[in-house]
Amino acid sequence: MNRPAFYLIPALALLVHPGAYSADGSVFRCMAAYNSPKEEQALLSRAPHGARRITKRLIEVGWTGGKRIFTDEPPYDESLAGVRWVYCGYDPKLKLHLLFKAEESIFTGVLLDDETGSLLPGGQEVLFSPDRRYYLALEMEDGDWTESLTLYRRSGGILWEGHKGFSSPDDRQAVAEFEDLHWTSQNTVQALAVPYDRAKSIAVTLAPGPNGKWEWLPRLTK
């Protein structure tokens, strides 16, 4: 896909977008823990059923009925290769843990349900709706024009997936990128679509249509 050269940013610099937020504050971010082993250790120490980095390559996280182990995979010291895990914290309102996962060229994450021990798809950043029935997850693949954005039910079922922005109908040209991404009190998602051609930005909303299918409106295609 064609994209402006100044958007070719190294993936690790895109771990978090500070402008993204949720109406009730239920937002997980992984940048601090990824960049600082000391910060990760502080987050591990606050896990409700215990969590620890057993070795440099092994994390153990307790949940109500047991423990989960997250293990790095080789090659360990090569860029964009192997698997690396980082613990990013626990939200007592959601009763969820977030772990960052770097798998080869993809920077994403998983959610661990503290009550059931089950794993849900996550991202390097996760934003929950005010009623906690839905969540947005952002992940990045190295070389892509922007982050991938997926809307899930709380159970992990996908409601919408695409990029954090608009592309042309043939998906060959980047048209606009979303900024100020956030949930509203009406359980819809709003953002500012910023066109790459420096045209005027417009407010857009992700919400279910009459047929129940979620979509962004209005949509920019050029």
> Which residue from 154, 156, 89 is spatially nearest to 128, judged by alpha carbons?
154
Per the prediction, the chain carries an average pLDDT of 87
- Confidence grade of residue 10 (pLDDT, cut at 50, 70, 90): very low
Number of domains in the chain: 1
- In this prediction, residue 145 carries a pLDDT of 85
Q: Which of 122-131, 181-190, 193-202 has the lowest mean pLDDT?
A: 193-202
**108 occurs within a structural domain:** yes
- In this prediction, residue 171 carries a pLDDT of 77
> Which residue from 118, 139, 116, 117 is spatially nearest to 127, judged by alpha carbons?
139
Q: Is the pLDDT of residue 53 over 90?
A: yes
**210 occurs within a structural domain:** yes
Containing domain of residue 153, as a range?
19-217
* 143-174 tens-digit pLDDT: 888 899 999 999 999 999 999 999 888 877 88
**64 occurs within a structural domain:** yes
Cα–Cα distance for residue pair 47/29, rounded to 1 Å: 16
Q: Mean of the pLDDT values across residues 184-193?
A: 95
**136 occurs within a structural domain:** yes
Q: Is the pLDDT of residue 221 over 90?
A: no
**100 occurs within a structural domain:** yes
CA 202 remoteness from chain centre:
23
Tokens of 145: 């024009």
**44 occurs within a structural domain:** yes
**12 occurs within a structural domain:** no
**52 occurs within a structural domain:** yes
